[in-house]
Chains A and B, each alone.
Chain A
């Protein structure tokens, strides 16, 4: 096991009866980074994360987390990780403080340590004044923050979060990202799953795109976007076929794909320079242009490119 890698997974597969939810995936997470599994619902993200956090048995493959072999020493893995589940998992009838105390005791933390850690974390997630409030009286965003604090109680080496901002309003989502970044800055490695492009894009140091149980692309958000080319031009014309043959040999065009009503052109040099050439060329050939759009590749485009489809919901 490489010291730089806090998680190493090779050949991980998981099936429910006949359904293969995770299909032979391998990846590694570097110490200190924010790693995202990006994929649509049903892609296998939750199954993969549930195997890593020991809620599902390891059926096939090899997993090392924080230097511990998942199959031979799951207890040590449990000791080294923190978890924030997809759904809210709080006892509605316990207070914020009791929730964290209970958690600390589950991990055999000392009493004094629990006390000081609670102060510290509630300060971090700005819940210090809610210590004695029952969790059912917290707002959705506060519940999430409490869960993040809970996940951090034991100073885990890796914090796992399954869809951390699902169901939160845009403002609370941004706030949650800020907290996660803060946590990460303090040295905790973060592993998250998400189906939000913006979340993966903004937060991650490394993204693995997963679909149908397989990792189909990996890289930094920048690399993934750059791999599509410099710019993307979306073009709608009266005759898609003609337009395609007319511009296919232009300098700087990386690829042209037909998509819906028109063409998606990926360029490998500045699109703003290519676009006028394309327009004048099409005018010369008397092909009517009905709409044109130039943009930088986004995570959505990356996802579209690799999966060939829009993100399912």
Chain B
């Protein structure tokens, strides 16, 4: 077998399914978040909106906050999963397993490829569960779509997720290779997630942010991921929280290319780092 990344991938997935508590919590957490935070916020938004009586333009589908936010929860879940996903490399470094790997004939980039693949797989599983749970809670994804269209929507969502997951697991791998302690890794990762999560359109439209932060949100990959998920899961023209959202295919394509470019750069960064790392 010349595909060493499959070996890395298999090991990482085995570990993912082996720790039942961790697996359970990682799958349940986003669902609970959607359940509690989402329901509460949805209730409040809907009350405020009904009192102001914002009119929805004719012919535009109106979706509730829960539906709007569900896409953001999926995006955030993937962000969290992957930004911490490179921890395995720190674990391997501290337990010496990275030495076994580095001293083997396997090309080092296979290590990054394998971990990126498992990050993508985990992200797909998680997003699927959040979507299913969301549908149970009344999220109106894929409304008015036939089976084939739903399938296409899923494919679109999964492509966006794969690119984003790859980018952030590579960032995480880079941090893990540079750090010596779990605390340092945790600290840096958490520091990164904060602005990424809040300076985006995941929980609310970015138009509510101060102008400077709006610019930042524009280049935030999370914004583009959320846009992609909303486009495929809700539609290209809908209204939520009293605002109209229009996504043209061109915009979505740009988001996709942006994520692909970003993922490529991050992969190169992680690859370069693992190629140069000296572990004794």
Chain A residues at the B interface, C-beta cutoff of 8 Å: 46, 50, 53-57, 75, 78-79, 83, 85, 87-94, 98, 102-103, 105-111, 150
Q: Are B95 and A89 in contact (CB under 8 A)?
A: yes
The 3 closest A-B pairs by CB, nearest first: A89-B96, A105-B7, A106-B104
Q: Which of B1, B15, B280 contacts A93 (CB 8 A)?
A: B15
Q: B184-200, CB under 8 A of A: which get 1 and which 0?
A: 00000000000000000
Most buried by A among B7, B10, B278: B7
Q: Are B280 and A50 in contact (CB under 8 A)?
A: yes
Inter-chain residue pair count (beta carbon < 8 A): 74
Chain A residue contacts of B92, Cβ below 8 A:
91
Q: Are A78 and B11 in contact (CB under 8 A)?
A: no
Q: Are A78 and B103 in contact (CB under 8 A)?
A: yes
Separation of A91 and B99 alpha carbons in the complex (Å): 12
Q: List 18 A-B contacts (CB under 8 A).
A: A50-B280, A53-B103, A55-B103, A55-B279, A78-B103, A83-B100, A89-B95, A89-B96, A91-B11, A92-B95, A98-B11, A103-B104, A105-B6, A107-B104, A107-B106, A108-B4, A108-B105, A110-B1
Chain B residue contacts of A93, Cβ below 8 A:
15, 18-19
Among residues of A, the one whose C-beta sits closest to the C-beta of B105 is: A78
Chain B residue contacts of A55, Cβ below 8 A:
99, 102-103, 278-280
Q: Are A57 and B278 in contact (CB under 8 A)?
A: yes
Smallest Cβ distance from A274 to chain B, in angstroms? 49
Smallest Cβ distance from A137 to chain B, in angstroms? 14
Q: Are B1 and A108 in contact (CB under 8 A)?
A: yes
Q: Are B11 and A83 in contact (CB under 8 A)?
A: no
Most buried by B among A54, A106, A107: A106
Chain B residues at the A interface, C-beta cutoff of 8 Å: 1-2, 4, 6-7, 10-11, 14-15, 18-19, 92, 95-97, 99-106, 278-280
Main secondary structure of the interface of A (DSSP, over half): loop
Separation of A94 and B278 alpha carbons in the complex (Å): 25
Q: Are B103 and A54 in contact (CB under 8 A)?
A: yes
Chain B residue contacts of A105, Cβ below 8 A:
1, 4, 6-7, 10
Q: Are A56 and B105 in contact (CB under 8 A)?
A: no
Chain A residue contacts of B4, Cβ below 8 A:
105-106, 108
With known contacts A56-B278, A93-B18, A102–B103 Cβ distance under 8 A = no
Separation of A106 and B100 alpha carbons in the complex (Å): 9
With known contacts A50-B280, A56-B278, A89–B105 Cβ distance under 8 A = no
Separation of A54 and B97 alpha carbons in the complex (Å): 15
Q: Which of A90, A98, A150 contacts B14 (CB 8 A)?
A: A98
Smallest Cβ distance from A78 to chain B, in angstroms? 4
Q: Are A89 and B99 in contact (CB under 8 A)?
A: yes
Q: Are B11 and A102 in contact (CB under 8 A)?
A: yes
Separation of A55 and B6 alpha carbons in the complex (Å): 23
Smallest Cβ distance from A85 to chain B, in angstroms? 6
Q: Which of B2, B15, B100, B104 contacts A89 (CB 8 A)?
A: B100
Chain A residue contacts of B102, Cβ below 8 A:
55
Separation of A50 and B15 alpha carbons in the complex (Å): 29
Separation of A32 and B97 alpha carbons in the complex (Å): 28
Chain B residue contacts of A88, Cβ below 8 A:
96
Chain B residue contacts of A75, Cβ below 8 A:
105
